[in-house]
Amino acid sequence: MTKSTFHFEFNDLNLSVSQIEGIIGYKEGEDSALVSGLIGEILKESEKICNIKAEYIIYKDILFNYADKSLNISEINFQIKRIVFSQIKGSDSVVVFLCTAGKEIGIKSREAMHEKDLLRGYIYDVVGSEIVEAAADLMQNELEKSVISSGKKITNRYSPGYCGWYVGEQHKLFQLVPDNYCGIRLTPSALMDPVKSVSGIIGIGEQVKMNPYTCGLCDQKDCIYRKKRQ
């Protein structure tokens, strides 16, 4: 098992006001005066309050079960379902990763909501989600760089709760990492604490590739990845 840990600075993420506006739904050229100042303010604050960290473990003892489209990692069976299976089945090892923006931004969002400043609470929430996704992108880039010299490639990252993979399998995923790994704990209902965290798997191998079009394979209409792509 190979383990890696990354601490990212907020500025490494290169998040912009227009990027967050796009996530909210604003199209280029649309009047976003209502939110642009607030997004700028919260991005600036995020630099001080976020504790961005990513960790992963590479597992080589994996087994793909073609009959039921499942994957065994270190003898734990994951019912990853058709879409994830089809993208990851050529892997010769699998990364289990966790990534977080830290506690504070989620707390800020909840506090603002509680104080009935719903817009501020909402923007904190969107910015927090974007921070953790951008950090996971950086972690993924680092992983790609580390395997490329051996002629290998990586897949997209896949998380329980997306592409038909049942979110309850988070519990199995967390069995593969040490307690409080990356500073993240799991609630009984499979929610991560801090809330602005992501977890999942990435395949590594000579026969795999990144696929920019996986949303076309999935029928989850409200997924954040689909919205981002649109």
Partner 1 sequence: MNDILEKIALCVEFGKINKVSPYPPDMKDQDGADELAKRALDEGTKPDEILDKALVPAMAKVGNKFSRKEIYVPQMLMAAKAMNSAMVHLKPYFQSGETKRKGKFVIGTVSGDLHDIGKNLVAMMIEGGGWEVIDLGVDVSTEKFMKAMDENPGAVLGLSALLTTTMENMKKTVAAIKEKQPGSKILIGGAPVTKEYCEKIGADYYSPDPQGAVNYLKQLVS
The position carrying tokens 């473990």 is 57
Does position 228 interact with partner 1 (CB under 8 A)? The reply is no
**At closest approach, how far in Å is the CB of 16 from partner 1?**
17
Does 63 sit near partner 1 (CB under 8 A)? no
What is the torsional sign of CA 58, 64, 69, 72?
negative
Q: Which stretch of DSSP H or E encloses residue 63?
A: strand 62-65
Q: Does residue 190 bind partner 1 (CB under 8 A)?
A: yes
Q: For residues 159 and 149, is the Cβ–Cβ distance under 8 A?
A: no
31-50: contacts with partner 1 (CB under 8 A): 33-35
Question: For the chain, what is the largest distance between any 2 Cα atoms, rounded to a whole number of angstroms?
Answer: 53
We find the least distance from the C-beta atom of residue 7 to partner 1, in angstroms, to be 26
Query: Which one, 49 or 190, has the nearer CB to partner 1?
Result: 190
Q: Which is nearer to partner 1, 55 or 169 (CB)?
A: 169
Does position 133 bind partner 1 by CB under 8 A? no
CA 144, CA 149: separation in Å to the nearest integer?
9
Contact criterion met (CB below 8 Å) for 52 and 13: yes
Number of residues that bind partner 1 (CB under 8 A): 26
Residue 18, interface with partner 1 (CB under 8 A)? no
210 binds partner 1 (CB under 8 A): no
